[in-house]
Amino acid sequence: MIPATMSLIDLPSPGAPDAMVLSTGPVPEVTPGHVLVHVQAAGVNRPDVAQRKGEYPPPPGASPILGLEVAGEIVSVGEGVTRFAVGDRVCGLANGGGYAQYCLLPQGQVLPWPKGYDAVQAAALPETFFTVWANVFDIGRLKKGETLLVHGGSSGIGTTAIQLAKAFGAKVFVTAGSDDKCKACIDLGAERAINYRNEDFQAVIKTQTDGKGVDVILDMVGAAYFDRNLSSLARNGRLVIIAFLLGAVADRANLTPILTKRLTVTGSTLRPRTADEKMAIRDGLLRDVWPLLEAGTVAPVIHDIVPFADVAEAHRLMESSTHIGKIILKLI
């Protein structure tokens, strides 16, 4: 039986991690085209941190509750839902509302747990796998035999990108902020990991590619790396920007390589995409990536599992940037 109320993480006003408080609120009503999931685990992501700070408001119609990915059991299905049923164990990309005992998911953003997975492992999948699939393979058009540079290689997105690119026959280079993080990236399949604290990635890439450069760069740093990214791309290379951790305004950037090397500079955010666009990404994952997860070829890297009530500690860990892989909140 579905209760009338649930535990959730409330954010009365933007602020530091301690601004989030454990609270109680109504369970969402299931609506057409949606499923209601009893949440067992939820992922913690950079957009959650940005929303907590007041820098990333939810899109119109989305739940104001933090949280963009969950795993659990379906307890109710809305009109028009045909692919899923009550009792199915699923994970999914939420438009908001993941930091709660119950979360409403559009059916086009729901995936079954890969065979052999538990809730914690499944909750580590949606946000990073949707992001990597959309940006590296759809927008970035990475192909077998090409080369990929991933900035932030030890992040949840980075560890996912390394494994997927390797699985599909690409060579991967990464940047990371410590020797331990670099080793973790190498262990996951990176060809070369560059410690950006004591190495210049532009020089390393030039050496590693015999001056050619890489075919695709997945960048979450932004302005601070813009010039060096353009210089590090091969002819017809693609720079895909997904965040601006070190600035969104690149002053006095040299745009010449865009013309001389026929570069593509693009990017995207996931949350504002339409339901149909997200469903297309979901379908691509089910078709091409879920078999790799079930075979053990690719797996989420989980740094820590944090009790739901200790969500502030999870955010502090995220902001420390000391983690390798995903941080998961456990509700059950």
Whole-number average pLDDT of the chain: 97
pTM for this prediction: 0.96
What is the CATH number that goes with domain 129-267?
3.40.50.720
The yes-or-no verdict on residue 15 having pLDDT over 90 is yes
User: What pLDDT does 47 receive?
Assistant: 95
Q: Compute the average pLDDT of residues 77-85.
A: 96
Which has the minimum average pLDDT: 120-124, 145-149, 241-245, 274-278? 241-245
Task: Give tens-digit pLDDT for 94-107.
Answer: 999 999 999 999 99
User: What pLDDT does 327 receive?
Assistant: 98
The yes-or-no verdict on residue 194 having pLDDT over 90 is yes
Band of pLDDT at residue 120, cut at 50, 70 and 90: very high
Domain 5-125+271-330, CATH class in plain words: alpha beta
Closest listed residue to residue 151, CA positions, set 62, 229, 87: 229
User: What pLDDT does 247 receive?
Assistant: 84
The yes-or-no verdict on residue 250 having pLDDT over 90 is no
Give domain limits for the chain. Answer: 5-125+271-330, 129-267
User: What pLDDT does 67 receive?
Assistant: 98
Q: Compute the average pLDDT of residues 19-45.
A: 98
